[in-house]
Amino acid sequence: MKENIPNIYSFKVKKITGEDQPLSAYRNKVVLIVNTASECGFTPQLTELQQLKDEINNPDFEILGFPTNDFGKQEPLNGNEIASFCEINHGVKFPVFDKIMVRGAHAHPLYQFLSDKKLNTKLSSSPRWNFHKYLINRKGELEDYFYPFTKPLSSKVKKKIQRLLDNNNK
């Protein structure tokens, strides 16, 4: 078994309040990473993402939201405005981080990793719009991705998450 497979645990992200959050805090969890925006046609997926989190109801599953203004300037909010919007309008309780860039030369290093097979050794899939979803296994490795039009509550998404949760190779 390869032990040097790249994973998300070496990355740090900024909480909405500005503090660093190492992604190693999510070690041994199945994680769904989603780039979000408050003024997008897909924004109702924030509610569906929280419903997915509630429905799966497993402490080993986490959703991480990363607001971005990269697509159609659909995230005009900043900091606590984003957190308030997500909580008040969509009941979001999962972590939503500080606004980042998710594509291009200035993309956050996490998104450079997720998007490029040369870095993650598994898949190449850059977000083409808001609500692109990356599925991470318990080892912190990229497992799969879902395009924005794939709804969080779809059986495809739920089955893949459940399969990873059932695989207890920590």
Active site residues: 40
Residue 167: CB atoms within 10 A of its CB come to 11
- Residues facing residue 133 across a β-bridge: 34, 146
DSSP one-letter string for 104-134: STT--HHHHHHH-HHHHSS------STT-EE
**CA atoms of 157 and 105, how far apart (whole Å):** 29
Say how far apart CA 152 and CA 133 lie, in whole Å: 9
Three-state DSSP state, 166: helix
